[in-house]
Structure 1
Amino acid sequence: MTAAEARARYLDWLAKERRAATNTVEAYGADLTDFLGFLAGHLGGEPDLAALGALRPADLRGFLAARAAAGAGVATRARQLAAIRGFLRWLARAQGLPPVALAGMRGPRLKPPVPRALTPAQAREVAAEVGSVHDPNHAELPALQAARDVALFTLLYGCGLRLGEALALDVRDAPPEGEAAALRVTGKGGKQRLVPVLPAVRAAIAAYLRLRPGASPAEPLFLGARGARLDPAVAQRSLRHYRRLAGLPEHATPHALRHSFATHLLGGGADLRSIQELLGHASLSTTQRYTAVDATALLATWRKAHPRAD
């Protein structure tokens, strides 16, 4: 088996067995293509399984050094090392190759970025007003598009969903308007969680569905212009168009509404474990990034309000 064939099998396993996100599979595929291309020059020919099994940490460090020299940033190199680690560990398990000694190898130090949240007023404005501004060149019915966008972005902010999680919902998943309900959300890796749904979210979704009489329970909850499931790029474009007309900051994106959900809950006194469950984070350390956002906002308030802050 060639290294290229092994790469293809690994990506297939990653998608089907690990149920990795499509973007992750594509990114890892590109990273492994870069790595195998480097090895072809580094080793003097296309590597096979024996060559992969004989790799040393020095070979991986050589690859990372080459990528740095080519202008790859710290985040890119850290992701590429993660892709290579996963590939080589899979080879050791699935193909019986000797494991490469990676335990003591450190990758580029990547400082997690602090999530950029909107202010509560900005987040509420997006959720309530995004449907009030339309692109005149858009083919969709304005009333249906407006109600859909309000429902979608109210859901993202009110429940802290990822955009992909919201767009994967079907009509049968919609919470009933007049009673308290929890939404069952399928997140990364197929992991499910229950998220309470605020009355404002239930009302926005119900108003949207009233413009879709007779919608089948199996239909996508959020439809695009051609009646198929709404494309994430269309939702992102809709918010981008609104934020520029409304004068909102450039980081006002669908994912920023999820960040805002977590940040505003933390500022309101919610504990990190609860926020972790609501967001569907596998690790508490991921959720802890929001403490930095809250601390930054607290410091800004102190500087603005304290008479001796200057």
Structure 2
Amino acid sequence: NRLPQLILLLGGIYFFMSLLGALLIVQPCEEWYNDIDQNIDNNTIYESWIDILKSKELYLLWISRFALQFFSQVIGGFYKTFGLTFIYDDHFLSMIGTVCSIFNCSGRLFYGYLMDKLSYKVAASIEAIVLTVFTATLYFTSLLGEQTSSQRCMEILKNETHFINSTITETSIDPELCGSLETPLAAKITFAIFIWVLFFTFPGTYAMQPAVCTQTFGQKYGGMAYSLLFTGDILNNLMVGMLSKPLIESTGFLGLFLCTSAWGIVVLIATQFYPKYPSPYKNNTQNMDMTKSSLSS
């Protein structure tokens, strides 16, 4: 009954914040554009957007972006559905989702800072490893609470209704019927930690890729290069939408998470081919010295 009011309240908050953000946007003065033009060296590699399409760095970033979006779509879209298979506490799962927003924000700050202090190559490699390990093992958090939740719930329902040969299945159980069952605390805590780590990690790409595009393609074409990476999101969303349900039905959540974690290996491999100190200039020595000095400071 409170859902319509909640939607109206959230709509009002989003409208106010969007309006405030729109009022704070200003057009940069002409001097700002002139300063950028003066700072652009004629020795740059990229003289037009066509040169960007010819660079291997763009496609390495595109592959990384495309693969990392699987973690964002799958974990963000299915963590609660997976949690309900062994945690019959919707309020607890909602609390996890609320805290996820904090980790979502702080993760961007952390990986942005990590990239500034080390490099995109190192930070992205760390991100890929963490996502691969935690996604591949996420399913095993459900085993901690399996015996006292879903399986036990089916036994109780069958005994109480006297249907020995009942067709009740694990996926057909109403969570409200099993609300009295307590999932072990270890299962809840472990599941929450895994989800928070994942939400802390996969947003890191949204903080690092705009910066690395500017480092690689310069101020003039960095924004255009970053916009081209979003073409992978279209294909990614279609694949997740069409393949996730058949994959869950055939292999369960274990298969879904293992297939998703495999994309982390793709990111790790693609990142190893990316230059540690990218530069838009033909002579990269000066830019490397400036980058190293800024990292050391």
TM-score by length of 2: 0.23
Which structure has more relative contact order (CA 8 Å, sep 6+)? It is 2
